[in-house]
């Protein structure tokens, strides 16, 4: 498929997808004779994973590392020495996800505090205008 269909499927802009290629995050399988980028279903899933990770605050480089580990863990053949190191990496990734998750929960509380602040201000206004 070409870039247009890909972007429709994952709801990202063409600019974004091209930029991901520029930084080596999502590289097309090949090019058409005229130079059009050609993508497969694998690229769709990869972009969807990226979309999931993005709001957690990972940089594109971070996401590349995670995707790389996942790809290698999903490969059919892997040498035993690679497996050990890979498991360590996955563990590290999982830990940083946990940290991001904790940060998100703090942000939820911040949102609630802000809501309370806004409500209090509105309440104060109501009292004043009731006079």
Partner DNA sequence: CGAACTCTAACGTGGCGTTATAGTCA
Partner DNA sequence: GTGACTATAACGCCACGTTAGAGTTC
Query: How buried is 26 (Cβ within 10 angstroms: 0-12 exposed, 13-18 middle, 19+ buried)?
Result: buried
Q: What is the x/- site pattern for DNA, positions 27-66, by CB under 7 A? A: -----xxxxxx----------------x----xxx-----
Separation between Cα atoms, residue 129 and residue 94, nearest integer Å: 53
What are the beta bridge partners of residue 37? 31
E strands of the chain, at which residues? 30-31, 37-38
Q: Which stretch binds a copy of itself (CB under 8 A): 11-19, 20-28, 33-41, 114-122?
A: 114-122
Find the binder of a copy of itself among 14, 32, 40, 115 (CB under 8 A).
115
Q: For residue 8, count other CB atoms closer than 10 A to its CB.
A: 10
- Which stretches of the chain bind a copy of itself, using CB under 8 A? 49, 52-53, 55-56, 66, 69-70, 73-74, 78, 80, 83-84, 86-87, 90-91, 93-94, 97-98, 100-101, 103-105, 107-108, 110-115, 117-119, 121-122, 124-126, 128-129
């Amino acid at each position: 498929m070409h870039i247009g269909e890909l972007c429709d499927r994952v709801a990202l802009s063409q600019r974004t997808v091209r930029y991901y290629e520029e930084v080596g995050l999502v590289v097309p399988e090949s090019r058409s004779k005229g130079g059009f980028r050609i993508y497969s279903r694998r690229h769709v899933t990869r972009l969807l994973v990226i979309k999931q990770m993005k709001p957690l605050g990972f940089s594109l480089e971070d996401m590349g590392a995670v995707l790389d580990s996942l790809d290698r863990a999903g490969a059919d053949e892997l040498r035993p020495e690679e497996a050990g190191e890979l498991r360590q990496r996955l563990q590290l990734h999982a830990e940083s996800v946990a940290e991001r998750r904790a940060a998100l929960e703090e942000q939820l509380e911040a949102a609630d505090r802000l809501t309370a602040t806004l409500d209090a201000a509105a309440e104060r206004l109501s009292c004043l205008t009731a006079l």
